[in-house]
Chain A
Amino acid sequence: MVQFIVFLGVLTFAAASIGQKPKAFIPSFLFVYVLSLILFAAGNWDQANRYNLEPPLLGLVLGLVISNLIGLPKWLDAGFRVEFYIKVGIVLLGATLPFTLIIWAGPVAIIQASIVSIVTFSVIFFVSRRLGLDRRLAAVLGAGGAVCGVSAAIAVAGAVRAKKEYAPIAISLVVLWAIVLIFVLPLVSRAMHLPAGVGGAWIGTSEFADAAGLAAAQTYGNLAGPETGIPGTPDQALAAYTLIKVIGRDMWIGIWSLVLALIAVTKWEKQEAGGRVQVSQIWWRFPKFIIGFLIASLLTTLIVHAYTLGDYNKLVKPGLIAPITALRTWAFTFSFLSIGLTTRVKDFVSAGSKPFLAFAVGAIVSIVLGFILSVLVFGPYWASTDL
């Protein structure tokens, strides 16, 4: 109840300052909150846990079902503030990624993650453009494949001012591939008897969603042992996965958002406007929540810089990072639910098979490149890594 009152009070005040009538916002937000509560309850269900059906993802599906099969009165739209919730979530995401993690991750993880991030983004972006897709959709798809799929797709969609149906397209592709790879990567790793750390690194390099990758890495780590002939320990698989995916690749959310926001403002909008964009316009149009993301990351960096990695895991993560992550999940759930509630499937279907094709090419490149880097190039390093 306290949580609801705080959410309602703060968000209503913010919405009113932005120009929305509280009378319209409050009942609509109440609807969003009650549905989100149900989603959190469903997300804690064993079967949902098993298939990584997290509240934001369930929210997207529930929202799509309600808006496309049942329909909602127009007056409820006031609380479906997709972008606002996303932007708050992205700033909170920055707080969970202190720069100190880069130092702890070490150069190999950062180099490997950077190579994969840049190559995968470039492949998806250029294939999308060759297929004739809008550059903003190409950017959102590229970020979805190159970084932490869902979060990156949302952040970049906001940064380049993408059409509202672009983020759900990218999210659905990320989720689809993530589910497939939960099973494929551990199975192939097992068939090849890759050491636990190497398998974890490959999963971290090629999986598209944090939760799905975590499940795959844990699954593969649990296979390690003399009876299966897989060298290493479960912790090695998890450590390698965490270094590559949760630290190395997720850091790129901020980088891609910043770079693409600048490109969108200085190049794309300039071309579309058919004239010059003044320097002041660049600042005016720049998505400020990206600045919030970076400041939040800087703040937690300052907070955690005095801690060792062990203390960070033991004290800071449960005491500071986990609660922020939980609030971020609420913000993302509000947002995903709102995306579902405002998206019509016919808009979605009109995108055709081209986004799927472009993403599939990127996924294959990411899987092959991930294997080369994790097994052939840095194999000995990952086989002995621990966190």
Chain B
Amino acid sequence: MSASQARRAPWVVHLAEEEARQRSIKLAKFRLDTPLKPTNHVGIVSEVTTEDTVSPSAPGWKELWSKEDWWAVWLGLGTVIIAYAFFKGGSTYFLAGRCSGEVVNAFPTRRPTLR
């Protein structure tokens, strides 16, 4: 403990130490983030406006509804479940192509003849 710290009340010293600890966490996180140049990268370009680069706190459950990665998962899986429900129910809604504007077949029947 330095001489200046010794003159302070213990709770003030504790606060100062906590503040220094938080600063070092922020600095460590900044070093970890810096080389990525977030605005220039595909993977996180859209996440820089959220808490990713603002808050040093560790991500928790909130990530499940505040990150686009998870939203992509929910939307994708939700689509599969809804599509399955329609399919299982024998609906021709999808087959008619109305939900998606068109039906893109991976194996179209048209056969180009270039002979």
Contact = CB atoms under 8 A, between A and B. Distances in A.
B69 A87 contact: yes
Nearest to A94: B76
A351 interface: no
Contacts of B81: 299
Interface residues of B, number: 59
B104 A325 contact: yes
A298 to B, nearest CB: 10
Contacts of B45: 82-83, 164
22 contacts: A82-B45, A83-B46, A84-B46, A84-B71, A91-B77, A95-B79, A96-B106, A157-B42, A163-B42, A164-B40, A166-B42, A167-B42, A222-B115, A238-B107, A269-B32, A289-B69, A317-B105, A324-B79, A326-B101, A327-B79, A327-B100, A330-B100
Nearest 3 CB-CB pairings of A with B: A91-B76, A161-B43, A87-B72
Interface string B32-72: 10111100111111110111000000110000011111111
Contacts of A215: 112
B112 A281 contact: no
Contacts, number: 210
Interface of A: 2-3, 10, 14, 17-20, 37, 40, 44, 49-50, 81-84, 86-88, 90-92, 94-96, 157-164, 166-167, 186, 210, 214-215, 218-219, 221-223, 228, 234, 238, 242, 246, 269, 272-275, 277, 280-281, 284, 287-289, 291-293, 295-296, 299-300, 303, 316-327, 329-330
B83 to A, nearest CB: 5
A96 B69 CA distance: 19
Interface stretch (B3-11, B15-23, B91-99): B91-99
Given A83-B46, A222-B111, A292-B76, A40 B101 contact: yes
Contacts of A91: 72-73, 75-77
Contacts of A222: 111-115
A288 B75 CA distance: 13
A287 B43 contact: yes
Nearest to A183: B114
A161 B41 contact: yes
B88 to A, nearest CB: 9
Which one of A3, A19, A49, A186 has the greatest number of beta carbons of chain B within 10 Å? A19
